[in-house]
Structure 1
Amino acid sequence: MGNKARQYKKSTIRKLDTLSCNQCANPDCDRKLIARDGDTIVSKICHIEAVSPNGPRFNPNMTDDERRDYDNLILLCDECHSIIDNKKNEGKYTVDLLKKWKRDHENKCRQQQLSKKSTLLNQAINAIASIELEDNLDNYSLETFNIDKKIEYNSIKEYRYIIEDCSKYYGKLNPLYSELEKQGSFRKEKLLRIIQNLYLKAKGEFVNGERNELEMIQNNADKIFKSVEEKLWQLIDENQSNTDDIYIALPIIMVDAFMRCKILEEPR
């Protein structure tokens, strides 16, 4: 046990680095993750729920794939990593606290990067719209739905925080779509159709012919949402270069697609 849990995917490390903004995720720490020479890496990948039974916050029900997954990792400076992984501090640095640190830090980083790089959302839109997928969708709609009702209806848990955090950027995204439509661009429609296609494929993998389709979706809502996001990123990465910054904007576009019921089910 443990070896595989430390074998991180390259995409996982890239996402951790991009969403760290070169800052330790501990809100009480101001240390950078790259040393003053601008080259030496001083960050540490910390497991929120430990790799081994002797580690802090160990969860025996997790697989090694889940332990090495992005959702279970947080990027810290060397000192914070040592403090947090000290078994004596296990009661102070809980799973819930570390997940909150990570959520808050990523949200702060997203705000900073979107302020600095006003074209990030446009880059993400163009990157997704450039993907070529077979499209067999009928009765296509661009209507939006109440986000809280959708979260409850689909029984989303882990992704609830990301959806709520990113939904506030809806006001930035909609004017971009409107401007594209004025220019005669079909990027918005194509983008949403691509995401819906990915959702239908992911849904098929989890439902797999089960008679109670909605119950299966509700039981696996977070896994389905995650599957769509990972597949979308993989397609972007295959078709684009210099894509790291798109990690910042991708969740915002995903949440917009969620609100338009291109991911998960419409409340009835």
Structure 2
Amino acid sequence: MGFPGTWMTESESLVYRVIPKCACSTIGQIMYYSDHGHYFDGDIHDSTQGLHKWSQDYSQQPITDRVTAQDTYTFTCVRNPYTRVLSAFFDKICGIQRNGRRYRGNLVPNIIRKYGVEVEGDFDQIQSFRRFLLFARDTIKYRRPMDPDIHWSAVSGHASTLIVNGGRYDKVITTENFKEGMKEVMKNIEVKHPLDIDTMPRFNESEGHGPKRAHPVEDYFDDLSMHLVYEIYKRDFVLFKYDATDPSRKEPLSEPDMDEIHAKLGD
């Protein structure tokens, strides 16, 4: 299987397991800058040089060597399941993508038809999101009407592939405490071009794709939708220490236990 979703600086100073909807654009730009002294001009997901990516054939051997040797600082970034699935809804279901089209062709029309989700005009965001949650649950639990999409499949599933194939994380940071986490990561490596995490731009490539969220996070989740989110993302809540009982609490309750993460995701 290798190491899908894994990026590494060309200098081989830093390995990162990409997790969609968890600050991956900003992290990729930090890695790019640390080697080259400037940011990639465009969406870092479109780069084909300047950053090793598993999707690039020439990058696979260097990534494999460093990850399996466990001699290069390796990290990932996670996010509260409530805000992550909500972000996926507004970006991928409600939003128009960079190519000017809806995400994944007929995906959105199918959800509209089968689940009653609305995405046009002044629609009821709360009602439509809760219906989308039913769809997301069906894809993850039952793999129907399609396999789960990377943007709403569980964070723990993404993170586990690096571990089960022979890698080990030195650090798991969170989007909620992003600056502090990235500063600690950068302290542990040698960089050609240092950068100031506090003043650097934030690269949110999905911003503006969809309508703005009209309500506080907690308003989107009633008892049933909270139950669905816990059913889908129980392992994320447990491993990364997020509060499943309070959607308004974004920050984790405590630091993740690295030994627990490797033990439970390495099965």
With the shorter chain as reference, the TM-score category is under 0.3
Which is helix-richer, 1 or 2? 1
Which protein has greater RCO, CA pairs closer than 8 Å, 6+ apart?
2
State the TM-score, normalizing by the size of structure 2.
0.26
Query: Which protein is bigger by CA-based radius of gyration?
Result: 1
State the TM-score, normalizing by the size of structure 1.
0.25
Which is strand-richer, 1 or 2? 2
